[in-house]
Chains A and B, each alone.
Chain A
């Protein structure tokens, strides 16, 4: 998939001026926060389970080669096939070949963000095979020709009006004057429409939340049931997964599942958590005859042994973006590639390069909420800081930024000069704005004043004020009495 990450600043500006998007973000963002907080409050062991989840993933990553081989061995033992793919291109070719062998005309798809990374849909279409997204959110995204704006709620950026308009536009065989009384009517129309597609499909493609080395199983976690219909009804099931999805055992997966749904949607457990192991067995009345796993690397193995290895713990719950003030303001499309929000700001530069995605790790206030809610305790702000350092080392920022940082660093290393300069600056600003109360714009600070006014500094610098209070404090201190309290 091509990225628009280099245009993050323009994307963000457009997003902030988009009234529809801002309305959708306003409706959506509170819901996730409250639900997660309630689910976490309902499980006293949640904090301990975060440590467990982190440790399981760390153990797996330290032995990733072993567990991947074990997984592949057990998939094959259960009659399935594993396709190892270094790049998105290889993965596309592997999927196409399986579909061709199955003489597939249509392919149903469960939600898979990896499939966005691979760019499967365009590839299949270009070769005469019709992919049909079946997750409700993905379905409307496909109708609109967009990409998901959120990793678990693809249509996070849309309002109910958008759904109604798109359904009228796409489902032309239905009465154009039909009324959608409530959200459920939209859901019912999609359900009816997609039922026919599920039954007609020759191949079903899903993602995988986990791969289990011990049993050779892939696991999907859904609420709608579309993923299950996708992997049950067609003759062939393809599970797409990246290499870091593997965990050793069912018990390990179970522990991770305890934090996944709570962090993601704020449910104690998702409606459907399904384990697929190989194809149909003797005597089974249903289920696919063939089972394939397309295992994608796409740059992840290069993260091993670097400071970004920790990012490979991510279980894609989206808590970081749900709690991010930047995501909450710009929405997901501004980030310009598959993965938005804080996890995207760390992962995207790893996968498509910091030159392409350098703006993303800069799009953070480092408030730290993402790290505080991460179920596998990924230090997201620290990792974004690593990207900023790399960007600086590789001279990827514009000259103005580098010069500014250089000047700031010179003063920062000389505290006396720093204090003197701030004292002079504050004094000058105070004098200049003495009649205004606030600045509407300032040279070199337009980025800041564009969205808000800068209050005119009052009094002295923080350090001066602090020093003064310390002095007063020590003057007024009463000697401690003998008895104490």
Chain B
């Protein structure tokens, strides 16, 4: 079988057989402790500065951010954004409990459909799991409450993110995931899919010149809910 042939050739090259038990145990230990390496100093700042760094980096990558004081303020922020972009007040929303709890019915001008993304969608509203200040990156894991298609098919993606979920470095976001998730089906913490998203879709394939709006969303708008007292500037 090719598996044995490949492993055999690797071992011949390394001039050894399968690893002895003590070395395997050492490597198992490294996997279990998954040590961090050097983390850039840029995100090692106070909470308000971390939030500011996150916003600055999102904007640098052509995303936009609106800060709102609480979840109740989200519908108005959504309505304002869609009106300013000249977009219809209709969107596909992730079936996440935090989004479903919002009193959308009080805002009859907004047409909300709770579902996955469809090819004809112009706008989606996703629930963000975490944000990484280091590069203005969103962490969007797939689960029944956060369909992946909402990140891909619409022309415009809006993402609700709690400020308390903005961390400095990617490693801190991995820590959240490891601590908070257990998949019943696999026993692991990884969902089927995790997208790290930094700004809207783009391509530089034509003469190495950057153009926004390749196959994914042409615009990415983050609604940042100021739920973290320590994070307020």
Chain A residues with CB under 8 A of B191: 277, 281
- B68-76, B103-111, B193-201: which one contacts chain A? B193-201
Contacts of A45 in B (CB 8 A): 38, 40-41
Name the contact of B31 in the complex, choosing from A86, A214, A255, A274 (C-beta under 8 A): A214
User: Are B24 and A66 touching (Cβ within 8 A)?
Assistant: yes
Q: With A232-B148, A284-B192 as given contacts, are A155 and B202 in contact (CB-CB < 8 Å)? A: no
Which of B14, B40, B215 is the one whose CB lies under 8 Å from A194? Answer: B215
Q: Could you say which residues of chain B place their CB within 8 Å of the CB of A278?
A: 186, 192
Q: Which residue of B lies closest to A77 (CB)?
A: B186
Within 8 A of A (CB), among B1-41: 1-3, 5-7, 9-15, 18-19, 23-24, 27, 30-31, 34-38, 40-41
Q: A208 CB to closest chain B CB, in angstroms? A: 14
The residue of chain B having its C-beta at the shortest distance from the C-beta of A42 within the complex is B42
Number of contacting residues on A, CB 8 A? 108
Q: Which residues of A contact B57 (CB under 8 A)?
A: 268
A10 contacts the other chain (CB 8 A)? no
Asked if A331 CB lies within 8 Å of chain B CBs, one says no
B171–A281 CB distance below 8 A: no
Say yes or no for A484: interface residue by CB 8 A criterion. Answer: no
Bin chain B's interface residue count.
35 or more
A287 interfacial by beta-carbon distance below 8 Å? yes
Residue pair B216, A155 in contact (C-beta under 8 Å) = no
| Chain B proximity of A152: nearest CB distance (Å) | 10
Interface-lining segment among A297-305, A398-406, A447-455: A297-305
Contact A269 B38 (CB under 8 A): no
Cβ of B2 and Cβ of A85 under 8 Å apart?
yes
Question: In the complex, which of the residues A56, A277, A301 contacts B193, with contact meaning CB atoms closer than 8 Å?
Answer: A277
B27 touches A63 (CB 8 A): yes
Given contacts A44-B41, A56-B37, A265-B204, contact A301 B119 (CB under 8 A): no
Measured between beta carbons, the chain B residues less than 8 angstroms from A272 are 195-198, 201, 216
Nearest Cβ on chain B to A53's Cβ, whole angstroms: 9
A278 to B31, CA, bound (A): 19
**Is B31 within 8 A of A70, CB to CB?**
yes
A160 in contact with B207 (CB, 8 Å): yes
Stretch at the interface among A184-192, A340-348, A430-438: A184-192
Question: Looking at the complex, which one of A217, A271, A273 makes contact with B202 (CB distance below 8 Å)?
Answer: A271
A52-B38, A199-B119 known; A269 and B198 CB under 8 Å? yes
Asked if B86 lies at the interface with its beta carbon under 8 angstroms from chain A, I say: no
A68 within 8 A of B: yes
Residues A84 and B1 in contact in the complex (CB < 8 Å), given A284-B192, A304-B13: yes
> Within the complex, what minimum Cβ distance (angstroms) separates A216 from chain B?
8
A229: contacting residue among B3, B10, B115, B152, CB under 8 A: B152
Of the listed stretches B135-143, B159-167, B221-229, chain A binds: B135-143
> A135 vs B203: C-alpha distance in the bound complex, in angstroms?
9
Least CB separation from A270: chain B residue: B198
Cα A284 to Cα B143 with chains together (Å): 6
User: What's the nearest-Cβ distance from chain A to residue B60, in Å?
Assistant: 8
Any B CB within 8 A of the CB of A202: no
Q: Known contacts A223-B202, A248-B30, A280-B192: does B38 contact A271 (CB below 8 Å)?
A: no
How far is A382 from B142 in the complex, measured between Cα atoms in Å? Answer: 45
Q: A67: which B residues are within 8 A, CB to CB?
A: 27
Tell me if B59 counts as interface (CB < 8 A to partner A).
no
| In the complex, chain A residues whose CB is within 8 Å of the CB of B204 | 31, 153, 223, 265
B116, B148, B186, B204: most-surrounded residue (chain A CB, <10 A): B204
The interface residues of chain B lying within 8 Å CB-to-CB of A305 are 12-15
Contact A137 B201 (CB under 8 A): no
Closest to B31 in A: A214
Question: Separation in Å of the B184 CB from the closest CB of chain A?
Answer: 7
Q: Is A250 an interface residue (CB 8 A)?
A: yes
Q: Which of B42, B57, B184, B190 has the most CB of A within 10 A?
A: B190
Per-residue contact bits, chain A 241-252, to B (CB 8 Å; 1 contact, 0 not): 001000011111
Q: Does B85 contact A (CB under 8 A)?
A: no
Q: By the criterion CB–CB under 8 Å, are B9 and A136 in contact? A: no
Interface pair B201/A255, CB less than 8 Å apart = no
| Nearest CB in chain B: distance from A354 CB, A | 18
A147 at the interface (CB under 8 A from B): no
B1 in contact with A248 (CB, 8 Å): no
- With a CB–CB cut-off of 8 A, which chain A residues contact B201? 223-225, 271-272
B64 interfacial contact with A, CB 8 Å: no
**Bound-state Cα–Cα, A84 to B153, Å:** 33
Q: How far is it, in angstroms, between the C-alpha of A273 and the C-alpha of B40 when the chains are bound?
A: 19
Known A272-B216, A274-B195; contact A248-B13, beta-carbon cutoff 8 A = no
Give the nearest-CB partner of A186 in chain B.
Answer: B206
| Contact string against B for A residues 209-222, beta-carbon threshold 8 Å, 1 for contact and 0 otherwise | 00001111100000
Residue in contact with B211 in the complex, picked from A62, A183, A199, A281, CB distance below 8 Å: A183
Q: Is B97 positioned at the interface, with any CB of A under 8 Å from its CB? A: no
Whether B38 pairs with A251 at a CB distance below 8 angstroms is no
Which residues from chain A contact B30 at a C-beta distance below 8 Å? 248-249
- Which of A84, A134, A183 is B206 in contact with, Cβ under 8 Å? A183
A313 to B186, CA, bound (A): 31
A254 CB-CB contact with B under 8 Å: yes
Answer whether residue B180 sits at the interface, using C-beta atoms and an 8 A cutoff: no
| Contact, CB under 8 Å: B19 / A243 | no
Assembled-state Cα–Cα distance A265/B42 (Å): 21
A199 to B152, CA, bound (A): 12
Hey, which chain B residues are within 8 Å of A333, CB to CB?
Answer: none
Bound-complex Cα distance A282 to B184 (A): 9
B215 touches A28 (CB 8 A): no
Residues of A near B217 (CB, < 8 A) are 225
Taking the closest CB of chain A, its distance from the CB of B154, in whole angstroms, is 11
A-B CB contact pairs (8 Å), 26 listed: A31-B208, A52-B38, A56-B37, A68-B7, A85-B2, A134-B215, A154-B205, A187-B213, A191-B215, A224-B202, A224-B203, A224-B215, A225-B201, A225-B214, A228-B148, A229-B216, A248-B31, A249-B31, A250-B174, A251-B174, A271-B199, A273-B137, A281-B191, A286-B116, A297-B5, A301-B6
Residues of B within 8 A of A (CB): 1-3, 5-7, 9-15, 18-19, 23-24, 27, 30-31, 34-38, 40-42, 57, 61, 95, 115-117, 119, 134-135, 137, 142-144, 147-149, 151-153, 170-171, 174, 183-188, 190-209, 211, 213-217
